[in-house]
């Protein structure tokens, strides 16, 4: 018999936020704190902003399982995993940080019976042509690099840990999370900072999520992606990249960059001749 999903505790526990000192971690920290979550912040680098009331910071390398466990409160109920390498890098670095580090996070979640909210990426499906849309979460993976492969691995890990151990997770396939859209591609892929906070808060608050995959994008008129689990967690984005349509720059890059949904990641090291 399959393991059942855990239920939400009656009293709020701690939320461990990995990657807290990164760009998106610094967006999430005040947003989650303002919503009343008890935060334990984690990163290799010190948290550079004023610490919200009740939050604490603990430095730890996610590739060091013992150090990560020591940085995590015993009563953690959720791990918001935004730590790791956030772009295409050397495959060995991706393997060490994004693959091994994410395995450590899920193992910690299994031991603490915590829900995982994971920063996945559109680069898990980046090699779909832009003419092939809309995509749904049921469409096969087409990663556009080693970074994208690491996100595919993490989503599969979330599926495994739910089916085998009953650990709930929400995989957030983030598009382009920016203060505002910068180029024409972002009119489809943009996730505003307020919608990022709404997305993570919804994933934390949902009574039961099982295993869920949600496109991390705002309510963009030109969106390429649909058919996800947003309704299951109660996520309703409020911003729309179309409001900036007259301000964005034309997309730069070669023909490969502009042909595929993953943009510039698709062109890195591209050597196909047909």
Q: Minimal CA–CA distance to 43: which of 95, 81, 11, 75?
A: 81
Q: Minimal CA–CA distance to 39: which of 49, 29, 47, 31?
A: 29
- Catalytic site residues? 147
d(CA 52, CA 70): 21
Please report, for residues 52, 97, 136, 257, the alpha-carbon distance to residue 268 in angstroms, rounded to integers and kept in the order given.
39, 20, 25, 9
């Amino acid at each position: 018999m399959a393991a059942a999903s855990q239920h939400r505790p009656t009293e709020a526990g701690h939320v461990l936020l990995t990657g807290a000192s990164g760009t998106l971690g610094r967006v999430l920290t005040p947003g989650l704190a303002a919503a009343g979550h008890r935060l334990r912040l984690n990163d290799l680098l010190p948290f550079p902003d004023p610490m919200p009331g009740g939050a604490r910071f603990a430095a730890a390398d996610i590739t060091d399982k013992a150090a990560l466990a020591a940085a995590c409160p015993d009563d953690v109920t959720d791990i918001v995993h935004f730590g790791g390498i956030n772009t295409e890098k050397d495959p060995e670095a991706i393997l060490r940080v994004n693959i091994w580090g994410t395995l450590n996070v899920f193992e910690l979640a299994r031991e603490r019976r915590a829900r995982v909210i994971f920063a996945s990426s559109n680069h898990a499906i980046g090699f779909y042509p832009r003419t092939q849309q809309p995509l749904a979460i049921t469409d096969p993976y087409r990663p556009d690099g080693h970074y994208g492969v690491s996100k595919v691995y993490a989503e599969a890990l979330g599926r495994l840990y739910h089916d085998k151990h009953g650990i709930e997770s929400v995989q957030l396939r983030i598009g382009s999370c920016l203060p505002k859209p910068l180029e024409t591609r972002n009119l489809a892929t943009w996730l505003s900072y307020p919608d990022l906070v709404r997305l993570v808060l919804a994933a934390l608050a949902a009574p039961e999520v099982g295993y869920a995959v949600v496109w991390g994008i705002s309510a963009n008129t030109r969106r390429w992606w649909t058919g996800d689990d947003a309704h299951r967690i109660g996520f309703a984005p409020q911003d729309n990249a179309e409001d900036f349509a007259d301000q964005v720059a034309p997309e730069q890059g070669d023909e490969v960059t502009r042909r595929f949904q993953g943009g510039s990641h698709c062109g890195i090291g591209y050597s196909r001749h047909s």
